Structure 1
Amino acid sequence: NRLDFNARQFDKVKDNRIKRWRDQEYRYDPWGNLIEKRSGTGKLQHFSYDCENRLVRAETVVNGKLESRGEYRYDSLGRRVAKQAEINGQVEQKRFLWQGLRMLREETPGQSTLYLYEPGTYAPLARVDQLEGEEQKLYYFHTDQIGTPLEMTDSDGKIVWQAIYRSWGAVEQLAVSDVDQNLRFQGQYFDAETELNYNTFRYYDSGVGRFVTQDPIGVLGGVNLYNYGVNPTSWIDPWGWSAKPSHSPDVAKWLEKGGSVHMEIDGRTWVYQDWESNVVRYPGGHPDFSPFERQKVDVPDLKGNHGKNPGGDFGKADALAPQGKADYAKNTWHHHENMMTMQEVPKKIHNRFTHSGGVKNMKSSC
């Protein structure tokens, strides 16, 4: 939890809910949803939620005067499909169309924007704007190592949008803003009326690096139910609730070596590609080494060890394997997470794509 080191005495943080940060004060409802945020002496925000803990209404009052408000609607899958925002008397209505859990299109009266993404990720590649009665306009995104838009250029290569960010995703400065651009961290959409980022299943406050509601999947997303991630320069959370696989490769070091990381759209599956184009998926948080499998065998009464003697797990696998003993010069046995199957895979792959698997499951079940 982030604490204000300028304060004389730290406020107690219960259930990971911040009560005070710098000049901001926070108040929550019994379900852990942020319902009031006070900034300085003159700015007050109110937030209202439905029975699914989804934000449905927000108001911002500055010096006693209503400055902005927003109302939000969702479909049966929890995706936001419409919003109405009013800022200083100017009303804007938007509708959103989805492809699975990825925003495909946004529409306002007389105008639409279509988004194109890198395959299998939420990192934007391009967008196509269509204003009624005019020709389409094509823009290209230029992103950082985790897919956050840094610049947007038009079809002639001219920069029409450029941002400088703080560590946790807040825009420090819009160096160029000829065209509105609301995408932030992967899966996030900035709402000017609240200064929050819509993050598919939650809303994210980039000013403090935290979500405003608890994680819908509970502790499966981490013990801190409001935390975005360990490191915002190497960790992404496009849905607002999916955790990085336990013991998988460190993302920052992986990227430094030339690898890449993304999450599949249709499942909570992280995918790592190394600098030699080897790809390993982590369905359910465990590595799928089947593309590199030399042979496999089911072995009864595994103990979770690496012994090559007749009573050890490797020795048992060698005795029962259809192709005989593993080629230990190049390969090793991998304990599958089902705690029964042994897979012979290349040492390079097994060691490089770090993981938790059958050994951990066996020791946990003891």
Structure 2
Amino acid sequence: NGGINLYQYAPNPLSWIDPWGLAGSRLPRSNGYWDGSPGESNWHSNNPSVNAITGGEPISFSGGRPDFSPWSKGSITFNEGVLNGSQNDFTEVYKSIAKEMNITPTAAKNLLSEKGLTPHHLSVTEIILVPSDLHGNVPHIGSASDMRNSSKC
């Protein structure tokens, strides 16, 4: 009947496992250095655009996630379940700013762009506004990717 089924005792040798949980990370790997374990220490960027914002200070990472809060220019808190890590979260940010400032969501989007700010998910209920040159030049994952991936389970 086909002999012994080796896969009954061992997993498929063609499958890949990630014992350290690094497959889902987007950590900086060039244009700077880590002062400890990557994703669990400080990232010292050599990127002039990043250093213009941080003043040359390192960016702290924990659990593979950066802490951009020292450079935050504001935060917006949402009720649980409003944010889901999708593009729709940006619409929610623009609507919230629009309501607060009595402008249209499009004007709010343009205002953030003019000020060089990008929404960054701090948690499943909070978004901080960080300089776009910082957010766009430091590879990372965070709450947004966590929310997107949790909906796949």
* Residue of 73, 86, 104 corresponding to 1:305: 86
Give the match for residue 334 of structure 1: 120
Counterpart amino acid of residue 279 in structure 1: P
Cα shift at 1:263: 1.7
Contact 2:76-2:93 within 8 A present in 1 as well: no
Cα shift at 1:308: 8.1
How do 1:125-140 and structure 2 match up within 5 A? Answer: none
Counterpart amino acid of residue 357 in structure 1: G
Q: Aligned-residue CA RMSD in angstroms?
A: 3.2
Between structures 1 and 2, the one with greater strand share: 1
How do 1:45-194 and structure 2 match up within 5 A? Answer: none
Change in Cα spacing, 1:317 to 1:280, as seen in structure 2 (3 Å) is farther
Cα shift at 1:314: 2.7
Counterpart amino acid of residue 117 in structure 2: N
The whole-number CA distance in structure 1 between the counterparts of 2:147 and 2:89 is 18
Contact 1:297-1:320 within 8 A present in 2 as well: no
The whole-number CA distance in structure 2 between the counterparts of 1:291 and 1:362 is 23
The whole-number CA distance in structure 2 between the counterparts of 1:280 and 1:244 is 21
How do 1:284-303 and structure 2 match up within 5 A? Answer: 284-300=63-79, 301-303=82-84
The whole-number CA distance in structure 2 between the counterparts of 1:363 and 1:295 is 24
Cα shift at 1:318: 2.0
Counterpart amino acid of residue 272 in structure 1: W
Give the match for residue 263 of structure 1: 36
The whole-number CA distance in structure 2 between the counterparts of 1:331 and 1:270 is 25
The whole-number CA distance in structure 2 between the counterparts of 1:282 and 1:355 is 9
Gaps of 5+ in 2: 1-9, 12-17
The whole-number CA distance in structure 2 between the counterparts of 1:332 and 1:321 is 18
The whole-number CA distance in structure 2 between the counterparts of 1:308 and 1:294 is 18
Cα shift at 1:247: 0.5
The whole-number CA distance in structure 2 between the counterparts of 1:360 and 1:285 is 12
Change in Cα spacing, 1:286 to 1:296, as seen in structure 2 (3 Å) is same
Change in Cα spacing, 1:295 to 1:283, as seen in structure 2 (3 Å) is same
Secondary structure of 2:140's counterpart equals coil
Counterpart amino acid of residue 294 in structure 1: K
The whole-number CA distance in structure 1 between the counterparts of 2:134 and 2:69 is 11
Cα shift at 1:347: 0.3
The whole-number CA distance in structure 2 between the counterparts of 1:331 and 1:318 is 13
Contact 2:60-2:67 within 8 A present in 1 as well: yes
Between structures 1 and 2, the one with greater helix share: 2
Q: Report Cα offsets for 1:330-358 as digits up to 9, x if no partner.
A: 1111112x211100000010011111112
Contact 1:303-1:313 within 8 A present in 2 as well: no
Gaps of 5+ in 1: 1-13, 16-217, 223-242
The whole-number CA distance in structure 2 between the counterparts of 1:321 and 1:342 is 15
* Residue of 83, 93, 105 corresponding to 1:314: 93
Change in Cα spacing, 1:335 to 1:288, as seen in structure 2 (3 Å) is same
Cα shift at 1:303: 2.8
The number of aligned residues is: 117
The whole-number CA distance in structure 2 between the counterparts of 1:282 and 1:341 is 18
Contact 1:260-1:272 within 8 A present in 2 as well: yes
Identity of aligned residues (%): 21
Cα shift at 1:304: 1.9
Contact 1:307-1:315 within 8 A present in 2 as well: no
Contact 1:272-1:281 within 8 A present in 2 as well: yes
The whole-number CA distance in structure 2 between the counterparts of 1:287 and 1:245 is 14
